[in-house]
Amino acid sequence: WGWRIPFLLSAALVLVGLYVRLRLEESPVFAKAVARHERVKMPVVDLFSKYWLPTLLGAAAMVVCYALFYISTVFSLSYGVTTLGYSRETFLGLLCFAVVFMALATPLSAWLSDRYGRKPVLIVGGLLAIASGFTMEPLLTSGSTAGVALFLAIELFLMGVTFAPMGALLPELFPTHVRYTGASAAYNLGGIVGASAAPFFAQKLVSMGGLSWVGGYVSVAAVISLIAVLCLKETRNTTL
């Protein structure tokens, strides 16, 4: 029952978040839009009638983030315990080690995207994610704990690389009156496609063709996101 204590204590963070949120001022662009009465009654209708393309492209750009995360956590944990013979505690320890690399990659990637642009960082991350799919079978089946840890670290590092710029990119794709709706829709559509399907398809693929097929799934997800990013405009200098 001890694991529940941190969750109960985290309730205090809700109050902190509420305090901060109530004291935040709206951005000048949004304040001007409100003053000009540019708010729409049904933004979701306006979004999918006029801005369906950036919504779909934004969702597709998110797919690789979720694929990397859920393949390297949910699927790999199951495979590591049931097939590779690791104890659940040992494999969770490896994941705790690997997630440190995601924590390092996220602010680094965010800083690079502010400095050089969203697209360059996401393109590099997408290309590396494509290549990472080919490392899955040799590293996970290497018989070496270090090899398994390396694979998990690579995938979660790349998850941080591809995820961080999206927090800025998605809102920048849409005009003020549908910005929140558009960013939310793209984010969650990407989650439905990239997150919910990944563990299911990974289990099917590993039973059909082995780990190389699962690695191929990661690479295909990265290709989908890379194509979407290439189709998007650079948004780094967009004023929100």
Among residues of the chain, what percentage have pLDDT more than 90? 70
Residue 171 belongs to a domain: yes
Q: What is the pLDDT of residue 38?
A: 62
Residue 240 belongs to a domain: no
Residue 17 belongs to a domain: no
Q: What is the pLDDT of residue 162?
A: 96
Distance CA 118, CA 185 (A): 19
How many domains, the chain?
Answer: 1
pLDDT digits over 217-238, tens only?
A: 999 999 999 999 999 999 888 7
Residue 24 belongs to a domain: no
Residue 69 banded pLDDT, cuts 50, 70, 90: very high
Of 16-25, 90-99, 118-127, 195-204, which range is least confident? 16-25
CA-based max dimension of the chain: 64
Structural domain containing residue 153 = 41-231
Q: What is the pTM assigned to this prediction? A: 0.84
Q: What is the pLDDT of residue 197?
A: 84
Q: Mean of the pLDDT values across residues 137-164? A: 95
- C-beta of residue 128 within 8 angstroms of C-beta of residue 161: yes
CATH of the domain at 61: 1.20.1250.20
Collect all residues with Cβ–Cβ distance below 8 Å to 64 and sequence separation of at least 6.
125, 126, 129, 162, 194, 221, 222, 224, 225, 226
Residue 1 belongs to a domain: no
pLDDT digits over 4-60, tens only?
A: 788 788 888 888 888 887 887 767 766 676 666 666 677 888 888 999 999 999 999
Q: Mean of the pLDDT values across residues 147-162? A: 97
* Of 2 and 197, more confident: 197
Q: What is the pLDDT of residue 19?
A: 85
Residue 170 has pLDDT above 70, yes or no: yes
Residue 119 belongs to a domain: yes
Q: What is the pLDDT of residue 75?
A: 94
Residue 34 belongs to a domain: no
Residue 70 banded pLDDT, cuts 50, 70, 90: very high
Collect all residues with Cβ–Cβ distance below 8 Å to 69 and sequence separation of at least 6.
155, 156, 159, 195
Q: What is the pLDDT of residue 116?
A: 94
Q: Mean of the pLDDT values across residues 132-137? A: 95
Residue 149 banded pLDDT, cuts 50, 70, 90: very high
Round the CA-based radius of gyration of the chain to a whole number and report it.
Answer: 20
Cα distance from N-terminal residue to C-terminal residue, the chain: 45
Residue 10 belongs to a domain: no
